[in-house]
């Protein structure tokens, strides 16, 4: 959190970040996201982990005639519940090294990573709503809510968070039910709390259950995202207020909002670190149940494999001259890992003017040949200025 605040106040120009500097600006946050991951895991169980060292070092490996420029990250921690001095390696991973703030070298090939235009944290669809979190997101459907691997009746979730005795909350609940055709299931309060106790393992009280959900959902970065994307104060970052924002977004939603840059933001590093975030999110649910995880089983090359398998086809690939695509600022409007984009991406929106090159919008493969103009400015969270 302190690192992110430092970058916000000292390193970012007042008029925003240029798209040409965005990769470097994001890559410089590696240590911040590693610290965030450890602290998020630790806070699920009374802050049981203390960071000893985070070692970030560049390496170069040669495989036959091909070389890999990698950055090794080693995270050493102390489990304060067991010892105040014993140091353990929580995890060790490699990521591609960003060279000249612009490209990777893997297996002797040069890759200029594209950028992703993704939805802001609240993702609205016709029959669902996704509340995005860095580690454990929440998706609301007509019948179920998916959260930390559990399928929870949507009406149970709304009955827990929104009281029928509060008129504003009751109106909010009814709007959500009507928007997404949520099937209501009558249940007594004590049965409701027992239901969530059996799923989460927390105390059978409304306050404890909501606190559990918010602690798992809101990490430090996610709080900042909601705060700055939706103009909320820090003390307004609660599940109830996020649901309020969802209703507001849903009420104003048009089909063209899928390509409206006012509802989008740009990412680079977050796409690369997805496997780490998923692993931390999985272990966080265990530490929330009282376990003290101080060693995470993770393939050291998992992020490299993720790049090749899930991100490779979305990245500019040039085995001769890595600089051929650098000034193009290629962007994909699909979420990382997605395959197909709706045809509406091939259209222009007024928010694209002077930000996206109009001749790059393709009807054949919408979303896959989009270029951001060099003069485009972004804020620290990738929002278009």
CA distance 17 to 25: 8
Check: CB of residue 131 under 8 Å from CB of residue 242. Answer: yes
Q: What is the separation, in whole angstroms, between the first and last Cα of the chain?
A: 23
Exposed / middle / buried, residue 163 (Cβ in 10 Å: 0-12, 13-18, 19+):
middle
CA 111 to centroid of chain Cα atoms: 23
Instruction: Give me the DSSP letters along 232-269.
Output: --GGG-SHHHHHHHHHHHHHH--GGGGG-GGGEEEESH
pLDDT digits over 328-378, tens only? 577 887 777 677 777 788 888 889 888 888 777 777 777 777 888 888 999
Choose among 40, 34, 39, 32: nearest CA to 7.
32
Element of type H or E holding 193: helix 189-200
Quick one: tokens of 175? 């709007």
For residue 72, the tally of other CB atoms under 10 A from its CB is 15
CATH number for the 119-257 domain, one of 3.40.50, 3.90.1110, 1.10.238, 3.40.190?
3.90.1110
Check: CB of residue 76 under 8 Å from CB of residue 87. Answer: yes
Q: Where in the chain is the domain with CATH 3.90.1110?
A: 119-257
Confidence at residue 7, expressed as pLDDT on a 0 to 100 scale:
45
Give me the mean pLDDT over the 38-44 stretch: 96
CA distance 257 to 126: 12
Taking all residues of the chain, what is their mean pLDDT, rounded to a whole number?
86
Per-residue b or e along 183-204, where b marks 16 or more CB atoms closer than 10 Å to that residue's CB: eeeebeeeebbebbbebbebee
CA distance 339 to 341: 7
For residue 217, the tally of other CB atoms under 10 A from its CB is 21
Exposed / middle / buried, residue 232 (Cβ in 10 Å: 0-12, 13-18, 19+):
middle
Choose among 365, 221, 199: nearest CA to 280.
221
Confidence at residue 271, expressed as pLDDT on a 0 to 100 scale:
92
* Helical pair 220-229 and 30-43, crossing angle rounded to 10 deg: 110
Of the given ranges (164-168, 258-262, 317-321), which has the lowest mean pLDDT? 317-321
3 state SS of 92: strand
pLDDT digits over 77-118, tens only? 999 999 888 999 999 999 999 998 888 988 888 888 878 888
3 state SS of 330: strand
Confidence at residue 255, expressed as pLDDT on a 0 to 100 scale:
72
Choose among 244, 257, 234, 279: nearest CA to 131.
244
Distances in Å between the Cα of 319 and the Cα atoms of 64, 108, 214, 323 are 16, 8, 46, 10
Choose among 221, 255, 226: nearest CA to 239.
226
Check: CB of residue 245 under 8 Å from CB of residue 230. Answer: yes
CA 346 to centroid of chain Cα atoms: 25
pLDDT at 318 over 70: no
The confidence band for 317, taking pLDDT boundaries of 50, 70 and 90, is very low
Confidence at residue 10, expressed as pLDDT on a 0 to 100 scale:
46
Check: CB of residue 55 under 8 Å from CB of residue 76. Answer: yes
pLDDT digits over 153-190, tens only? 999 999 999 988 999 999 989 988 888 888 888 899 99
pLDDT digits over 194-216, tens only? 999 999 988 889 999 999 999 99
Confidence at residue 384, expressed as pLDDT on a 0 to 100 scale:
93
Degrees, nearest 5: CA angle 335-255-341: 30
Phi-psi domain of 331 (left: phi exceeds 0; alpha: psi -120 through 50; beta: other): beta
Residue 36: partners with Cβ closer than 8 Å, 6 or more residues away: 1, 134, 219, 220, 221
Residue for token digits 């649910």? Answer: 285
Choose among 139, 235, 224: nearest CA to 182.
139
Degrees, nearest 5: CA angle 66-69-71: 150
């Amino acid at each position: 959190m302190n690192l992110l605040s430092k970058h916000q106040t000292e390193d970012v120009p007042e008029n925003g970040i240029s798209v040409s500097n965005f990769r470097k600006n994001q890559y410089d946050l590696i240590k911040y996201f590693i610290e965030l991951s450890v602290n998020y895991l630790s806070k699920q169980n009374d802050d049981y982990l203390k960071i000893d060292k985070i070692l970030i070092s560049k390496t170069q490996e040669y495989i036959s005639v091909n070389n890999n420029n990698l950055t090794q990250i080693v995270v050493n921690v102390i489990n304060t519940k067991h010892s105040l001095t014993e140091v353990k390696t929580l995890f060790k991973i490699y990521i591609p090294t960003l060279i000249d703030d612009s490209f990777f070298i893997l297996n002797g090939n040069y890759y200029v990573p594209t950028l992703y235009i993704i939805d802001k944290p609240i993702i609205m669809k016709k029959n669902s709503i996704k509340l995005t979190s860095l580690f454990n997101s929440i998706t609301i459907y007509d019948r179920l809510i998916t959260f930390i691997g559990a399928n929870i009746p949507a009406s149970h979730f709304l009955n827990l968070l929104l009281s029928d005795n509060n008129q504003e909350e009751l109106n909010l609940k009814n709007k959500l039910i009507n928007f997404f055709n949520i099937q209501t299931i009558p249940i007594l309060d004590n049965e409701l709390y027992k239901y969530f106790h059996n799923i989460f393992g927390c105390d059978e009280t409304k306050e404890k259950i909501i606190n559990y959900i918010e602690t798992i959902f809101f990490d430090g970065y996610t709080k900042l995202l909601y705060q700055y994307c939706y103009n909320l104060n820090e003390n307004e970052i609660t599940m109830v207020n996020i649901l309020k924002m969802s209703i507001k977004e849903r009420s104003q939603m048009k089909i063209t909002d899928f390509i409206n840059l006012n509802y989008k933001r740009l990412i680079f590093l977050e796409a690369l670190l997805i496997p780490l975030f998923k692993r931390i999110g999985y272990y966080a649910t265990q530490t929330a149940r009282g376990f003290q995880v101080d060693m995470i089983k993770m393939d050291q090359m998992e992020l490299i494999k993720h790049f090749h398998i899930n991100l490779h086809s979305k990245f500019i690939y040039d085995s001769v001259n890595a600089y051929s695509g650098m000034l193009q600022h290629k962007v994909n409007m699909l979420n990382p890992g997605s395959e197909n984009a709706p045809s509406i991406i091939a259209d222009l929106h007024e928010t694209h003017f002077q930000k996206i090159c109009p001749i790059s919008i393709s009807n054949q493969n919408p979303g896959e040949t989009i270029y951001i103009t060099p003069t485009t400015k972004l804020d620290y969270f990738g929002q278009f200025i």
